[in-house]
């Protein structure tokens, strides 16, 4: 019997160590008459009752004796049953009039178990055993209360061969539920419930096949959460999963039923707009989704402020295949990330070359320190009152063998995405210590040297130990070191951050909060941190002489520092007017191109010897 004829009705269980294939079908009463013709009248005499509902269970099971002989009889009997069943007319699943057919395939023996309701609402169990060419018939009576329709196990005394058996009639409902579960796993994301990559590609391919290229267009949006990895890394995947569920709900609230949202993996989503109702529908949708996602989000004790970077590609303009459109939307999304995140970009032809450039940087970056491709330059900080060099900031450069000199804004975002910042940071600290040692040996003035540490690295419990491991190779360097962390580093893992700051301060290392005033940290948290300096972000310095709001922010930061007895550093100073104003406000150190660009160690030495006083 071809079970594939009834895919929605089939199931498989184990019985007596063999697979039991179950097929639920609807037959007419003539099947009963067919049985009468196949088996002798004596054998079917117990079936001569008034039938209300016919339920036939056909069970082919194992006989443990004379296997080779039995196989021949099995094949003959099985073909008889196949012929009988294939002649039955199939109808819809009526609750009060259906038949269950079951086949246990073991290629050995045959037993036909017939379950029949009689007019006394009792269930009569009848078994015909076809074994070694002989036919025997036995019958027993079971109360109807032991039988439940649609999905219940019928337990019968088989009275055949060597053991009792359990005959399981799998219901239509159970079979369909299993298929729905398999479909859910195959085509939908288990965490969020939206479509997965497989289903999205199928839907996109179908939409492209039906697209009128002359008059219609569709859009594919690639959505990627900014800085989501830090949540998983610092708070665990259980928190990250809850965030993804909330994000999914927010995105769904901004789209229509015609749109198809899919999670591609991790924090990446794709959205298909199969038929744009107007030319700006994709852009309007992207803007609406970004605004919704940007709203504060609370998971347990944590509040998150997340943003999206979105890439948009259109068909037929940017591709005619699912693979091409998805790739181009991905390239546009990376362009949005490189241009400051929290934005959308529409694909252009030059983005693929930029994306390939990005991929090559990621591949080359890990080996760059060991290959000697990195080097440091130093940007002086000038004492606001004496004009002397008070300290310097070490800035890493990459002499790429193909692309030439690359600056941090080009490769540090790539390093963060690929979690290589720790490798770079260790190299920078080692080089700073080497340079300080050279200055000491030369008898030069020994400066305090600042290095930038990525927020994700500083938030790790083992960060202090890694710093100490390097410092053990360079004794008495601690007092010459300064570590800059961005204000954003204070937002997560505040306990670990506070412990790391305290431990580093106990080593004599200066701690500076960089980009202060960008709005991430809590002043209450800052009050409890043993930091040394605040660095005013250059966004507040650029227009400080013309913009009252920027001036007010700078004054507030300086007031906070004075109250905490902290030093204040202003970066991004480019004019004498800015310098004079910052001196007047009480800044201690000034950094910017007004004095000089970043310098090599030799050029820095020459600059210091001039002792330029302004």
For 419-439, write each residue's pLDDT tens digit. Answer: 899 999 999 999 999 999 998
Quote the tokens at residue 506.
């106990």
Question: What are 517-520's contacts with CB under 8 Å, separation 24+?
Answer: 517/487, 517/553, 517/554, 517/556, 517/557, 518/487, 518/488, 519/487, 520/486, 520/487, 520/488, 520/490, 520/491
Most confident of 18-32, 136-150, 383-397: 383-397
pLDDT, residue 492, reads 66
Average pLDDT over residues 429-458: 90
Mean pLDDT, residues 327-353? 86
Q: How many helices and strands in the chain, by DSSP H and E? A: 19, 25
Residue in 451, 564, 460 with CA at minimum distance from that of residue 509: 451
How much is the average pLDDT of 160-170?
31
Greater model confidence, 272 or 96: 272
More confident residue, 441 or 309: 309
Instruction: Band the pLDDT of 550: cuts 50, 70, 90.
Output: confident
Q: What percent of the chain has a predicted confidence (pLDDT) above 70?
A: 66
Output the pLDDT for position 183: 56
| Distance of alpha carbon 596 from alpha carbon 379, whole angstroms | 8
pLDDT value at 526 more than 80 = no
Task: Locate 49 and state its tokens.
Answer: 């009752």
217 band by pLDDT with thresholds 50, 70 and 90: confident
> 270-292 pLDDT, tens per residue?
999 988 877 789 999 999 999 99
Tell how far CA 344 is from the center of its chain. 20
Mean pLDDT, rounded, for 309-331: 92
What mean pLDDT is reported for the chain?
A: 73
- Bond from prior residue into 75 cis (ω within 30 degrees of 0): no
Q: 200 to each of 221, 321, 322, 335, 360, how far by Cα in Å?
A: 12, 13, 9, 23, 28
How far is residue 78 from each of residues 13, 35, 105, 109, measured CA to CA in Å? 20, 13, 10, 9
Residue 335 pLDDT greater than 80, yes or no: yes
532: left (phi over 0), alpha (psi -120 to 50) or beta: alpha
3-state secondary structure of 25: strand
Across 132-284, the runs of DSSP E, i.e. the strands, are 134-143, 153-156, 165-168, 218-225, 260-265, 268-273
Cα of first residue to Cα of last residue in the chain, in angstroms, is 98
Q: Which whole number is the average pLDDT over 235-245?
A: 88
Separation between Cα atoms, residue 2 and residue 402, nearest integer Å:
64
- Please report which residue ranges of 21-105 form alpha helices under DSSP H: 30-38, 41-44, 67-86
* The pLDDT value given to residue 356: 75
Residue 56 has pLDDT above 60, yes or no: no
The domains found in the chain, sorted by start residue, are 3-176 (no CATH), 188-349 (3.30.70.270), 362-610 (3.20.20.450)
- d(C-alpha 453, C-alpha 451), whole Å: 7
pLDDT tens-digit map of 373-397: 999 999 999 999 888 999 999 999 9
């Amino acid at each position: 019997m071809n079970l594939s004829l009834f895919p929605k009705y089939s199931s498989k269980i184990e019985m007596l160590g063999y697979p039991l294939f179950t097929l639920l079908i609807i037959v007419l009463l003539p099947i009963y008459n067919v049985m009468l013709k196949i088996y002798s009248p004596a054998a079917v005499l117990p079936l001569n009752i008034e039938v209300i509902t016919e339920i036939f269970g056909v069970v082919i099971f194992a006989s443990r004796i004379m296997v080779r002989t039995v196989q021949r009889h099995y094949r003959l009997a099985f073909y008889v049953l196949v012929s009988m069943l294939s002649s039955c007319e199939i109808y819809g699943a009526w609750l009060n009039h259906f038949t269950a057919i079951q086949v246990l395939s073991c290629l050995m023996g045959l037993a036909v178990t017939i379950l029949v309701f009689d007019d006394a609402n009792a269930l009569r169990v009848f078994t015909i055993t076809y074994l070694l060419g002989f036919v025997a018939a036995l019958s027993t009576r079971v109360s109807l209360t032991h039988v439940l329709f649609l999905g219940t196990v019928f337990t019968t005394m088989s009275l055949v061969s060597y053991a009792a058996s359990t005959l399981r009639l799998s219901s239509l409902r159970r079979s369909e539920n299993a298929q729905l579960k398999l479909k859910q796993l195959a085509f939908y994301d288990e965490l969020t419930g939206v479509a997965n990559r497989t289903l999205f590609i199928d839907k996109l391919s179908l939409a492209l096949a039906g697209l009128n290229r002359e008059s219609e267009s569709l859009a594919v949006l690639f959505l990627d959460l900014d800085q989501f990895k830090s949540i998983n890394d610092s708070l665990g995947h259980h928190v990250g999963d809850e965030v993804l569920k909330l994000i999914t709900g927010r995105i769904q609230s901004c789209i229509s039923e015609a749109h198809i949202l899919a999670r591609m993996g991790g924090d990446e989503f794709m959205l298909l707009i199969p038929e744009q109702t107007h030319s700006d529908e994709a852009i309007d949708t992207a803007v609406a989704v970004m605004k919704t996602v940007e709203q504060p989000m609370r998971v347990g004790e944590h509040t998150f402020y997340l943003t999206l970077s979105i890439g948009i590609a259109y068909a037929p303009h940017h591709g005619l295949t699912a693979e091409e459109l998805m790739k181009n939307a991905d390239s546009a999304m990376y362009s949005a990330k490189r241009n400051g995140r929290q934005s959308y970009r529409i694909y252009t032809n030059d983005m693929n070359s930029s994306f390939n450039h990005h991929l090559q940087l990621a591949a080359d970056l890990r080996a760059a320190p060991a290959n000697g491709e990195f080097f440091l330059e130093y940007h002086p900080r000038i004492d606001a009152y004496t004009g002397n060099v008070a300290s310097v900031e070490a800035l890493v450069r990459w002499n790429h063998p193909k692309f030439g000199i690359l600056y941090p804004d080009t490769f540090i975002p790539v390093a963060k995405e690929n979690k290589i910042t720790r490798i770079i940071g260790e190299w920078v600290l080692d080089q700073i210590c080497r340079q300080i040692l050279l200055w000491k040996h030369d008898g030069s003035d020994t400066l305090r040297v600042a290095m930038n540490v990525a927020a994700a690295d500083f938030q790790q419990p083992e960060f202090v130990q890694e710093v100490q491991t390097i410092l053990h190779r360079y004794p008495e360097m601690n007092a010459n070191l300064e570590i800059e962390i961005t204000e954003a580093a204070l937002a997560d893992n505040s306990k670990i951050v506070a412990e790391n700051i305290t431990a580093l301060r106990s080593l004599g290392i200066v701690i500076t909060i960089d980009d202060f005033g960008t709005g991430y940290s809590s002043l209450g948290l800052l009050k409890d941190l043993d930091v040394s300096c605040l660095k005013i972000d250059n966004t507040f310095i650029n227009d400080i002489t013309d913009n009252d709001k920027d001036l007010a922010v700078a004054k507030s930061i300086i007031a906070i520092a004075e109250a905490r007895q902290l030093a204040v550093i202003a970066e991004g100073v480019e004019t004498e007017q800015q310098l004079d104003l910052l001196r007047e406000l009480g800044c201690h150190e000034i950094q910017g191109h007004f004095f000089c660009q970043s310098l090599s160690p030799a050029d820095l030495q020459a600059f210091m010897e001039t002792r330029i006083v302004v």
